[in-house]
Structure 1
Amino acid sequence: MATATTATDFDVRRHDSFGLRVQHLLHSNPVLGPLAVLIVAIIAFSIVNARFLTATNMSLVLQQVTVIAVLALGQTLIILTAGIDLSAGAIAVFSSILAATFCTRAGLPGVLALVLGLGFGTLMGAINGFLVTRIKLPPFIVTLGTLTIFFSLNSVVSGSETVRGSDMPGIMTWTGESIPIGNFRLTYGSIIMLLLFAYFFYALSRTAWGKHVYATGDDAEAARLAGIQTSRVLFSVYTVAGLLYAVGGWILIGRLASASPNVGTEYNLDSITAVVLGGTSLFGGRGSVLGTLIGALIVGFFRNGLQLAGVEVVWQGFAIGLLVLIAVSLDQWIRKVKT
């Protein structure tokens, strides 16, 4: 005997159907969720405080976000392979101290000192990659160890002293200079950051290397059986991330107008936060650098907006932490989508 369909059954099926459509939409377009959060945050904070959307404040937020965004870009590459890097901030700060030391104490030309600083940052990333791919150590343990090592060496090399920007060649602090666009000021560091995101957006979406990064993170064994050199992919990812962290260190010198060994302790978590809020899965294989850029902007806008609203610093951290938990929970739900 046929069972009559009740209005309640119809409502449940309609609700489930809507939920499935949203789930599939976010699975195929992981940037949409973070973008919606960013738009809502901008609208809400602009209503709370009229100064929020001013050109001066927007340029300040972009400057604050730039370093974290570059570090998060390198972090994205690693998380896409189902890894994680806790040494991002340590590499950035140590490479900046090395570059500053080369041009002040060793007397090297600014360009050469900068190249050496970037080279050592790349080498530090390669060390992480070697330990992960050759020694087969877990990325969490490897980068936790190198985090401590690099920060310790940073203190030894610098003597815990800050190198002033006035003592360094102009190329070292150039990233902090800006181009005025009305009341908005766009720093060269921010331009470098945007160009890096554009390049890696292309590299991950249009090149064989990018497809191999996604495949390795999605299922390393399946990728290996398909002929992908997964160890080489992982090594390249950690090495490139090291270079990006070093570029972040260079931008940091321009941002602070100095090379300080006493900064960067929070950069590791901030970079991971930006990646997670940007929709990149901590389980690897899903996400985009565009989402990471949006995630970094979310962190910057939330902190700036809450500060303008008079919210205490401790509650600003609470809000960011809550956003991370929501983002990870959403990722878990999206990964359950049936394809």
Structure 2
Amino acid sequence: MGKNRAISDGALFSVWPLTLLWFVPLLVFALASFVIPTVESLQVRADLPESVRVGSRDLSFPLAVTAHFEIDEQPLLRSKRSGMVTDIQLVEHASLTQGQRLFDLDGEPAFLFLADRPLYRDLARGDAGKDVGELTLFLADTGLLAPGLVGERFTPAVERAVKKWQGRHFLPPTGSMDHRSLLFLPRSVNALESVSVGLGDPVEAGSEIARSTARTARVEFKPVDAAGSLNDFEDAPVTAEFSGQSFVLASPLVPESEVQAFYDALLRAGVDLSDPDQLGRSLVATGIILRVADPRRVAVAPATTVHVSSTGRQCVFLVPEEDEKSPRPIAVPRSAAVIPEIGYVIVPDSLEGREILRAPSHLPTEVRAECE
């Protein structure tokens, strides 16, 4: 029996090494399965770059531009008489009004006639035609003829209105209109850019007295910096700033109805205008800043927070929550605007106040790959 017990103890002693050889690798593998992911997770967290909180900014997208005006024409004010200037009331850049007294030649006054066509003959009772129609519009504009009496016939009512006009300006009340006293400019003109004569100057019939402001047809804004773009404004109203003044436009693609008023505002402000072609067909205004008229609030983050993948996709990485193993990529539109003066990029509004990684380039390759 003692011998058998000795054999049994010896057999047990010889089995233990085999058991340990089988069990220890299993134990090591089990521990590794638990520890390694934890270490990897800790490793990722330990290597996380510094984070930054996504902020916000009221953005007006200031952009330096030049304004390129296309000119239809620049009408001239011409005298219909010869003589010496004995009185002058022409003022550059001042607003023009229908029927205002412009100047006198040898004591004979000349008045402004804003119309679609000039008068080419003296008009009196019994005359008819489109020029009579223009005269009756003129008399209605100056408050001397009821709008309902406007027409292409020189009626007794028109004659009475002409006499009132003559009496207002201390002229002989003949009832007929001397066409030489009415100097034509198109209705669209509202100011004079330059005056060519002064008091005491001799004037010949047909000579230039003044040059009106250009009649502008279109205007196009062009960024001064080739990298600039009007796309940030979309089609929203913009404010043009120049020489300490501002002018609100319905869109950076200026509607035709606003072009002339904008041009006149630049003139009044003394903005430099150049004629690059020396043909009078285009003018360029400089020193203009465009801004969004109603600045919008956007979420912004440092440009260094944006990772660009090999496929061109752009992402920022959210700092992981406690239950997350690694940072989560959030796509940033490829068209996202950059704000050069502060080195920030516009990110989705949903990120405002969230923590993102400042330098995702430091992340492990497999984490950055999630942005692909």
Q: Which bin holds the TM-score, normalised by the shorter protein?
A: under 0.3
TM-score (norm 1): 0.24
- Give the helix-richer structure, 1 or 2: 1
How does the TM-score come out when normalised to structure 2?
0.22
Q: Which has the higher strand share?
A: 2
Higher RCO, Cα 8 Å, sep 6+: 1
